[in-house]
Amino acid sequence: MAGLALELQELGAEARVCAPPDGEFAALLARVGVPLVPLGPTVRSVVAGTRPPTANDAFRLAPELVAARFETLTAAADGCDVLLATGLMPAGARDVAEKLGIRYVFACFHVFGLPSRHFPPGARPGKPSPRDETDNRVLWEQDAQRVNALYGEALNSHRAALGLPLVDNVRDYVFTDQPWLAADATLCPSQGMTDLDIVQTGAWVLPDVRPLSQELEAFLDADAPPVYVGFGSMAAYIPKDIARVAIAAIRAHGRRIVLARGWAGLAPIDDADDCFVVGEVNQQALFRRVAAVVHHGGAGTTATSARAGAPQVVVPQIADQPYWAARVAALGIGAAHDGPAPTVDSLFAALATALTPETRARARAVAGAIPTDGARVAAKMLLDASHPGQAAGARVNHTESPG
């Protein structure tokens, strides 16, 4: 989203970004000179506790998020030409755009959540589908019912207060018939994956020019390229011993380690000098310097690794992460770990695939085929639709949230 905001500004438009008020997001937007408009609770408060969110948490949070979007976006999108929303289910965003009489775009970063004849829906809080149901069309209809149960009452209550007609299928209303896919076509092919008319722009990349620290540069230069390990925001999901397992498996390959703390606060298991710990870091620069990247399979980390030509080992935890793991394996640019809880032996075996010269060569070849102008493509599309032939003066509101 920050990458898209930057491109919009460079084309002469004004961008406003509404997002959860985590400090990391504010710092990211500050790099492109866009203030964060706080929207809803922090992501940390939702996903980075000692346990994953429960179904009860979801049914409590969903109406709160709907109310926050109606309140925040009504003010933030006032005077804008377009409201672009992303997130797992940004119910409330299209409704605000409808009330304000402006264009609405839903953008996603993978096809996993879009209704399809070819694969079933992912897990969602609510009444589960029967175990013996295998018809994907039926399963997606039941998924829509679960979305309605989560968001429908709150959404339609707010719509009624604004004089808007009620919505009977919240999911499809949010997604629209023409969602935008902000992902690379090599990593995430969309042709034939869904009945929706997908507009694939390419991934939205924010160029990162921040230097690596002198200490990290010295560590990288001291010996052969190390293996990076990081699990981002997956604090509540990853096994508690993941750092010990990863370090042991990487050492068994004779490699050093760059360990990312992440929201789980991962730490070295001893005081050996073969492990360097990083916090916030320029992954675009770092991943070009490592032998492999071990990660959870987030859309951003997968794409950044692929663009850097770094072999990957994906240890998927939730949501779209198994999809990215499968794509990495199918493309031959790394390995998909079987399951979310690796042992030293299983991670050693996955690394054995990622660290071969053949995987490295394939990763570099794929990297060379991935375009980096997705954010510019999307920005031009937004502005051309709003003010054909005249970008200057347009205003675009972006919103994203954990629900």
Domain boundaries, the chain: 2-205+372-401, 214-368
The dihedral over CA atoms of 323, 328, 329, 334, expressed in degrees to the nearest 10, equals -140
- C-alpha–C-alpha distance, residues 225 and 331, integer Å: 23
Asked if 2-205+372-401 and 214-368 have one fold, the answer is yes
Q: Which of 327, 287, 278, 330 is nearest to 311 (CA)?
A: 287
- C-alpha–C-alpha distance, residues 167 and 152, integer Å: 8
For domain 214-368, the CATH class is: alpha beta
- C-alpha–C-alpha distance, residues 8 and 2, integer Å: 10
| Whole-number pLDDT of residue 391 | 43
Alpha helices in 17-176 (DSSP H): 23-30, 43-47, 55-76, 93-100, 136-147, 153-161, 170-175
Per-residue pLDDT of the chain (403 residues; tens, 9 = 90+): 999 999 999 999 999 999 999 999 999 999 999 989 999 999 999 888 788 899 999 999 999 999 999 999 999 999 999 999 999 999 999 999 999 999 999 999 999 899 999 999 999 999 999 999 999 999 999 999 999 999 999 999 999 999 999 999 999 999 999 999 999 999 999 988 998 999 999 999 999 999 999 999 999 999 999 999 999 999 999 999 999 999 999 999 999 999 999 999 999 999 999 999 999 999 999 999 999 999 999 999 999 999 999 999 999 999 999 999 999 999 999 999 999 999 999 999 999 999 999 999 999 999 999 999 999 999 999 999 776 554 444 677 777 655 5
State the amino acid at position 240 in one-letter form.
Answer: K
Are 159 and 90 in contact, with CB atoms under 8 Å apart? Answer: no
Token pair of 62 as six digits: 């969903």
Token pair of 317 as six digits: 């935890």
| Whole-number pLDDT of residue 402 | 54
| Whole-number pLDDT of residue 326 | 97
| Whole-number pLDDT of residue 50 | 80
- C-alpha–C-alpha distance, residues 5 and 13, integer Å: 9
| Whole-number pLDDT of residue 392 | 44
pTM reported for the whole predicted model:
0.94
Which CATH number is 2-205+372-401 given?
Answer: 3.40.50.2000
| Whole-number pLDDT of residue 121 | 95
Q: What are phi and psi of 149, to 5 degrees?
A: -65, -35
- C-alpha–C-alpha distance, residues 31 and 208, integer Å: 9
